[in-house]
A and B are shown apart, each in its own frame.
Chain A
Amino acid sequence: MRVSPEHQDPETIQRILHQARTVAIVGLSPNELRASNFVGFYADRHGYEVIPVNPREDEIMGFKSYPSLADIPGTVDVVDVFRDPGAAVEVALQAVAINARALWLQFGVISDEAAEIAKAGGLDVVMDRCFKIEHARYIGRMHWLGFNTRVITGRRPGHLL
């Protein structure tokens, strides 16, 4: 399934990564082998405040887990979604309701309807992209594993996180 380039825009992605402080991960698994856990671990390691959203758990990775986005007391910058595409619309509605700044749908979470809802609510939207990989592409160490970051620059970078 093709995803609109508008939802994979490098400029939008970099802006979200730089401005965000809190990341609510919807569907964060306590299982260390799951992709959501990889992303949660990585986001925490790189200084983001990780807020698990998983009604089946009280605590994940040492952080209090909330049953839904609406239950989170503070502000949420990014809503990062690890759910099946059918659940994305409901998550998008909640993300708009809590005034999140961005809806980030992970690999395979493709829902044009969810994207439209979030966009109409004033949120930035990223779809079928991984939060960890995009962070590592622009400011991390993704190139150390031979991946194509598409970053071309002749300028000396600062210290890499």
Chain B
Amino acid sequence: MQNPDEKPLRSFGFHTRSVHAGARPEPNTGARAVPIFQTTSYVFEDPESAAAYFNLQEYGNTYSRIMNPTVAAFEERVGNLEGAIGAVAFASGLAAQSAAFFTLLNPGDHVVASAALYGGTVTQLKHLFRKMSVGLTFVDPDAPENWKAALTDETKLLFAETIGNPGGNVLDIEPVAAIAHGHDIPLVVDNTFATPYLCRPIDWGADIVVHSATKFLGGHGTSIGGVVADSGEFDWSNGRFPVIADPSPAYHGLAFHQTFGGYGYLMKLRAETLRDLGGAMSPFNAFLFMQGVETLPLRMERHVANAVTLAEWLRDRSEVTAVRYPGLDDSPYSSLTKKYLPKGAGAVFCFDLAAGRQAGQEFIRAVELFSHLANVGDAKSLIIHPASTTHRQLDEEELAAAGIGPGTIRLSVGIEDVDDLIWDLEEAFARIA
């Protein structure tokens, strides 16, 4: 065994960890950037090693549906930045989220979720998980008591977004986590809009954090991916989660929590759920996500600064009836923003045009620099009309619950010169007047 320096580990800062975590220089070649290990599989040293890897007795690479060194570097980096014990990456945000849920749930279980969620998540919970006999209650997330009132004996998790898409609801994480823990169940939080630079839900009591890495983590609109991070603190042996604590028939009787302690959930998520559902992240996408995460803090500062400027500018326009940016002083979420998002409330927000649906579509037609597309979290500024696109599968009541009106426009503010963004919106207002 080599004898590395016995230096105490320093508590490195967020910028340092964004650049370094999970990525030591590659030992065989000395490559400083994380190599793209574009391989399906790995040659075993000997039959005993192969058996040890498959038995999880040793950490070793077997097959890239289950693990890959490039993907692992991205996973460790996100896990580190979130203050988690680790993470597992997936082919998309929805793949990550469904796998996080799937690992926790059995038929007959129940989920309580915020009503102010990304439309794709609503659809996943309402249709896919109901198809698997998982019950579901949507609650107005803004009052913690709503969460408590919706609990049943079968409830196995609470789910919300740190910053709701697109209504901008800021989750009061601490009391909602306390309600979950009082019921012996975890709080799962989608931290896509905040990123760990603006908020680390685990610091406030959340147990599991999911991301669409496609958005700000990647940051350049190049790749689809997702990731699940776990605090490692939840007691899966509390009697409510035999799905994790009991010997698993899908892994020759292994009891994941008993054997791996705090690492048990992530081990099961990888060795069973990812193995069996198969939504693995590609090594090339992981490489691009790593490049994105290196500049995450720098980009988020610029995203937030531009978003604040645009939100304040829009608030003063006569054509606009409301700007729902939780970073504004007069937002109903202002105090929660100060507590949970002191560096800023992200860069995605909605505003409502007085003239309604027709004006909304005309406005989108009129912009020059903003791109009309269904994504957020790109370095480039984006614009969309949620009622006819991202949240189209929702009925009127669900749209209202998600904070979407007929004239609602969603912006994802990029990192361009803010004067150019203001110029673009000003010209668009002039064109639809």
Q: A33-B259, A156-B30, A159-B27 are in contact. Are A136 and B59 (CB under 8 A)?
A: yes
What is the bound-complex CA distance between A107 and B259, given in angstroms?
10
Known: A142-B59, A147-B86. 9 other contacts (CB 8 A): A38-B259, A41-B57, A107-B261, A108-B261, A144-B61, A147-B79, A148-B86, A154-B25, A156-B27
A62 at the interface (CB under 8 A from B): no
Residues of A within 8 A of B80 (CB): 148, 150
Which 10 pairs show the lowest CB-CB distances between chains A and B?
A146-B75, A147-B86, A107-B261, A148-B79, A141-B59, A158-B2, A156-B25, A11-B8, A10-B9, A35-B259
Looking across the interface, which residue of chain A has its beta carbon closest to that of B259? A35
Could you name 20 residue pairs across A and B whose Cβ atoms are closer than 8 Å?
A33-B247, A33-B252, A33-B253, A42-B58, A45-B52, A45-B58, A130-B261, A141-B59, A144-B60, A146-B87, A148-B80, A148-B85, A151-B9, A152-B9, A152-B20, A154-B25, A156-B27, A157-B25, A159-B2, A160-B27
Looking across the interface, which residue of chain A has its beta carbon closest to that of B258? A35
Looking across the interface, which residue of chain A has its beta carbon closest to that of B252? A33
A14 at the interface (CB under 8 A from B): yes
Residues 232-272 (chain B) with a chain A CB within 8 angstroms: 247, 252-255, 258-263, 266-267, 270
B76 at the interface (CB under 8 A from A): yes
Cβ contact within 8 Å between B263 and A146: no
Q: Distance (Å) between the CB of B117 and the closest chain A CB?
A: 26
Looking across the interface, which residue of chain B has its beta carbon closest to that of A37? B57
Q: Which residue of A45, A108, A157 contacts B24 across the interface (Cβ within 8 Å)?
A: A157
Residues of B within 8 A of A145 (CB): 59, 67, 72, 86, 266-267, 270
Interface size class of B (residues with CB under 8 A): 35 or more
Q: A33-B255, A146-B266, A147-B79 are in contact. Are A141 and B25 (CB under 8 A)?
A: no
Cβ contact within 8 Å between B59 and A146: no
Q: Which residue of B59, B252, B261 contacts A144 across the interface (Cβ within 8 Å)?
A: B59
Residues of A within 8 A of B58 (CB): 41-42, 45, 141
* Interfacial residues, chain B to chain A (CB-CB below 8 A): 1-4, 6-10, 12, 16-17, 20-22, 24-27, 30, 32, 52, 55-61, 67, 69, 71-73, 75-76, 79-80, 84-89, 247, 252-255, 258-263, 266-267, 270
Residues of B within 8 A of A152 (CB): 9-10, 12, 16-17, 20-21
Residues of B within 8 A of A143 (CB): 22, 24, 72-73, 76
What is the bound-complex CA distance between A157 and B1, given in angstroms?
12
Residues 100-149 (chain A) with a chain B CB within 8 angstroms: 107-108, 130, 133, 136, 138-149
Cβ contact within 8 Å between B84 and A148: yes
What is the bound-complex CA distance between A47 and B2, given in angstroms?
12
What is the bound-complex CA distance between A154 and B26, given in angstroms?
10
Secondary structure of the B contact surface, majority rule: loop
Residues of A within 8 A of B247 (CB): 33
Looking across the interface, which residue of chain A has its beta carbon closest to that of B80? A148
Cβ contact within 8 Å between B79 and A146: yes
Looking across the interface, which residue of chain A has its beta carbon closest to that of B71? A146
Q: A146-B67, A161-B1 are in contact. Are A107 and B262 (CB under 8 A)?
A: yes
A15 at the interface (CB under 8 A from B): yes
Q: Which residue of B7, B26, B67, B260 contacts A11 across the interface (Cβ within 8 Å)?
A: B7
Residues 40-78 (chain A) with a chain B CB within 8 angstroms: 41-42, 45-47
What is the bound-complex CA distance between A21 and B87, given in angstroms?
32
Cβ contact within 8 Å between A18 and B1: yes
What is the bound-complex CA distance between A38 and B58, given in angstroms?
8
Q: Distance (Å) between the CB of A154 and the closest chain B CB?
A: 7
Residues of A within 8 A of B258 (CB): 34-35
Q: Distance (Å) between the CB of A105 and the closest chain B CB?
A: 12
